[in-house]
Structure 1
Amino acid sequence: MGRRSDHTRDELEQLIIGAGHTLLAEVGYHRFSAREVAKRIGYSVGTIYNVFDSLDDLMLAINGRTFLIWAETIARSLQNAGLDRIALLVASYFDFATSNRNLWMAIYDHRLPAGVPLPDRYARQRGVLTDILRGEIAAVLPEDRRDLAPALARSLLATVHGHCVFALNGTFALLDERDPHGAALARVREALAAAGAHIAV
């Protein structure tokens, strides 16, 4: 019988998220199950659903942790960045996706039902990463064009993500693109230059 009183609710939440994050990294989104998480922590699956409202709620908590780890990784890299911080951002995206493929893909594989809004907590966790991106883009734009940073950040994120997906799923190999990372960086530079950015390299 699963343990029921070894941890407080807050401790259980962190225990479940930690075990779920590890499992997701190992097996990927499509093989993930709350039952396996429960088994790993020695509790019943019912305990998980006493802490999290649903599997969607649990997945958002785990993906939120991934966003925070990703943001922390990028923030550390930026502390030692050279002049071309945009190149570092693109490289960091590829590096994180390649090194944490299952966790990275789960962010995009998991979708809430139509019409269900993202919880504020998850939006804040995701926002830590996107705020870094917006800030770095704003920093290379002329002062009178910095209001373009949010829209540019969204578009450039989509550009880099698309290149990364094609690199990892083999599509670029079929298209004979041998440097997806370099191609993504070139497209980012072109878009920023068109917006009047100045990037030291």
Structure 2
Amino acid sequence: MSRRSDHTREELAELIVAEGHSLLSEVGFAKFSAREVAKRIGYSVGTLYNVFGNYDGLILAINGRTLDLWRAALVAKLDGASEATPMARLEQAVAVYFDFAASHRHAWASLYDFRLPSDVALPAFYADKLAAVIDILINEVTAALPAKRKAEGPELARSVFALVHGHCFFALNGTFDLLGETDPLGAAIARTREVIAGIPGMAAPA
């Protein structure tokens, strides 16, 4: 087992996040246990909370790792589509969301399952990680819009995110199977095209 003197604080933080992310990916948020993470790395639960402040801080650090992985997947896909049209790039971003959610299902779900108390603000480090992902979507949505509608980019990006997430969630939980939808990704891309095209009723109200 590891001893307290074996790791610097930075090394210990990385060890905890890596093992915590692995456990979360295995069992999901509902069954996640800080005590199990501590057991796996040979430290006490108190050590985990000493590093991250409390349970919420631990989960935010683990979810932050998921955001980093999601952003890396987006960047890798979009860097490989540098010659594609703006709409094709946006469609690639939508496909990344589906692929990432399917391959990191529990970790992806934890981004939405975990909530801080309403009176607690997101830590700056986590807000920055979230913005790093959302800003990519805003940039791709804005690029796909005609020049006269560029200013709508941030608002429409939120709408696109909501509709893609809804389609992805229904695909993963089996709802679309019940509804007879056989191509959830294709449907999400089609709805995204409609938002970009400005079809009435497709953009969510402000």
For residue 170 of structure 1, what is the aligned residue in structure 2?
A: 174
Deviations 1:66-109 (A, max 9, x none): 11111111101111123311110111110000111011001001
Aligned partners of 1:2 and 1:44 also within 8 Å: no
- Per the TM alignment, residue 131 of structure 1 is displaced from its structure 2 partner at its CA by 1.0
What TM-score, normalized to structure 1?
0.93
Verify: 1:11 aligned to 2:11, yes or no.
yes
For residue 49 of structure 1, what is the aligned residue in structure 2?
A: 49
- In structure 2, what is the Cα distance between the partners aligned to 1:42 and 1:11? 14
What TM-score, normalized to structure 2?
0.91
- In structure 2, what is the Cα distance between the partners aligned to 1:144 and 1:177? 34
Q: Which has the higher contact order (CA 8 A, sep 6+)?
A: 1
Taking the TM superposition and a 5 Å limit, the aligned residue runs for 1:41-190 are: 41-81=41-81, 82-83=84-85, 84-190=88-194
Paired AA for residue 63 in structure 1: N
- In structure 2, what is the Cα distance between the partners aligned to 1:11 and 1:194? 49
User: What secondary structure is seen at the aligned counterpart in 1 of 2:24?
Assistant: helix
Paired AA for residue 31 in structure 1: K
Paired AA for residue 146 in structure 1: K
The runs of at least 4 aligned residues of structure 1 exceeding 3 Å deviation read none
Aligned partners of 2:28 and 2:107 also within 8 Å: yes
Paired AA for residue 181 in structure 1: L
Q: How many equivalent pairs are there?
A: 195
- In structure 1, what is the Cα distance between the partners aligned to 2:149 and 2:6? 55
- In structure 1, what is the Cα distance between the partners aligned to 2:144 and 2:177? 33
User: What secondary structure is seen at the aligned counterpart in 1 of 2:150?
Assistant: helix
User: What secondary structure is seen at the aligned counterpart in 2 of 1:118?
Assistant: coil
- Per the TM alignment, residue 65 of structure 1 is displaced from its structure 2 partner at its CA by 0.9
- Per the TM alignment, residue 2 of structure 1 is displaced from its structure 2 partner at its CA by 6.6
Percentage of matched positions with identical amino acids: 57
Verify: 1:26 aligned to 2:26, yes or no.
yes
